[in-house]
Amino acid sequence: MRIGLLTEGGYPYATGEARLWCDRLVRGLPQHEFELYALSRSAEQERTRVPLPEHVTRVRTAPLWAPADDGRAYSRRERRRFADCFRDLVHGICAGEAPAFEAGLYGLAGLAREQGGLYAALRSESAVRAVESACRAPGAGRTVQAAQVPDLLEFVDELERVLRPLSLDWYEEPGHLGAVDICHAAAGGVAALPGLLAKRFFGVPLLVTEYGVQLRAHYLDQSQEARPAVRALLAAFHIRLAGEIYAQADLLTPGNAHARRWQERCGAPRDRLRTVYPGMEADRFATVGEAVDCGDPETLVWVGRIEPAKDLIALLHAFAEVRKAAPRTRLRIFATAVAPGYLADCRSLAAQLFPDEAADAVTVGENPVSFEEIGGPEAPSPAEAYGAGRVVVLSSVIEGFPITLAEAMFCGRATVSTDVGAVREVIGGTGLVVPPRNPRALADACLSLLRDPERAQRLGAAARARALELFTVEQNVAAFQEIYLRLLARGSARPDGEIPFARPPEARVPGHWTSPTWAAAPAETQTSEAAV
């Protein structure tokens, strides 16, 4: 089976989203051929790729960051065709009309397929005027109607970038994307655009996996300093694109119920949704998870990227309450990545809340809060970081699928988490969950586990058992193997009209007894034929 794996800003590059699970999926299914179609986000990202296995037979890449001017100038007739399609597209964006958006999107794709790239046309004055006209038309939102010339220019520039997959040469040449058995988009949004075209023009089944909903990510990534009209226009585009992807995909595989709710809200049909949890390498955490020692009983551990969404400020205030009731408790913060400004704020607050403590007048003081990095001398691996304490804390105010929480579960650690994203679904009753932005509740939950080591140990053991059942690489690979076979059987037809796997393999064995008349033959005839 040939699988066209579509990525944007991830695999096969060494950095980016979905890199790890894509690599594990590809390596876990060596019986299939994989062709990679990757969109990159920066020149720096393109410098480093991960080693690929032998059954990855083809790699095509395209940048979303570099200019894509191919020097193609349309004729008057082609410009008129572009204007009609682009008018439908932007009208669908501004007025929220899905049919117009669909007609415009596939019309532009057809034009690019027949006549060449859209770069010059999308950046033309006529394109800017079409957007302005759509913004002023009845049905457009108030914020969009207020768009000024700088807003229109910025939006057209961004629209050209995200529509760049329409102009790629991935679809027509020998061995093209339209010849694969299944298109598997590793994310929604721009990553799924080539899959939409392969389905539209060649009938290739489309599978879309979202462990983090791209529409939600777009909302979270938007800068508050951006111009309101530009934010509104881009949000409207991504809403319409998500709706079209969900409507056309043969199957959607959200990574958790939180992502599934987003997809359903955007119009994804329930009968085409199947939750597939991300696969993680349990062996990395086996030593810590199976150890008799459950870590320092007076240490709380936090692991993750130090950034505002993780709300370490609330965690530090909660730890101040913990220290009042349990003065010997320590908090060890392990960073996997850092937002420098936020780290400085957290260090400053920790210094204010917890002055360095010393046992006597000659001993050097020590702060009960430590900021460390994964890979340091005391925690060279994530497993050893989680193993440093008996209780692992997650304090986020924004979260999708909490990877660090699942890793803590593999390590057999009791957890205290805020109720955001898919946290409650991942925990499943094996840890304590509190409201976000509530330091008092966070402190009380931590104290309850610190004061009851047996309960913490029981919860840690239950958490590890749950993680081994639901979140391993093996379950993830097995799920997609089944999905690939089902999609191929349901969506692909041979030239003679026969559906693959519609009949059992033994029915294909040559012989007169396999003919349709065999079942209707008299019993004595069947017996005599068998005797022969």
Helix, strand, coil shares of the chain, percent, nearest 5, are 50, 15, 35
- Computed from CA positions of residues 468, 474, 476, 482, in that sequence, does the dihedral angle turn out positive or negative? negative
- Residues 472-526 pLDDT 10s: 999 999 999 999 999 988 765 444 455 555 555 555 455 544 444 444 445 444 4
Q: How far apart are CA 59 and CA 79, in angstroms?
A: 33
Q: Is residue 100 pLDDT above 90, yes or no? A: yes
Provide the β-strand partners of residue 372: 334
8 A C-beta contact, residue 61 and residue 32:
no
Segment holding 318, helix H or strand E: helix 312-325
Question: Which residue spans within 246-295 are E strands per DSSP?
Answer: 251-254
Give the pLDDT of residue 173. 66
Strands 182-185 and 56-63: unpaired
The dihedrals phi and psi of 267, each to the nearest 5 degrees, come to 100, 10
Residues 6+ apart with CB under 8 A from 337: 305, 306, 307
Residues 6+ apart with CB under 8 A from 67: 119
On average, the pLDDT of the chain sits at 88
Give the pLDDT of residue 493. 45
Q: How confident is the model at residue 46 (pLDDT cuts 50, 70, 90)?
A: confident
Give the pLDDT of residue 47. 86
Q: Quick one: tokens of 532?
A: 């022969």
Q: Is residue 341 pLDDT above 80, yes or no? A: yes
Angle at 411 between CA 408 and CA 416, to 5 degrees: 35
Residues above pLDDT 70, as percent of the chain: 88
Give the pLDDT of residue 222. 66
Give the pLDDT of residue 223. 64
How far CA 321 is from CA of 325, 359, 371, in Å, comes to: 7, 21, 19
Sheet holding 206-210, edge to edge: 56-63, 33-40, 2-8, 182-185, 206-210, 251-254
- Residues 259-309 pLDDT 10s: 899 899 888 999 999 999 999 999 999 999 999 888 899 999 999 999 999
Give the pLDDT of residue 332. 96
Q: Which of 225-234, 425-434, 439-448 has the lowest mean pLDDT?
A: 225-234
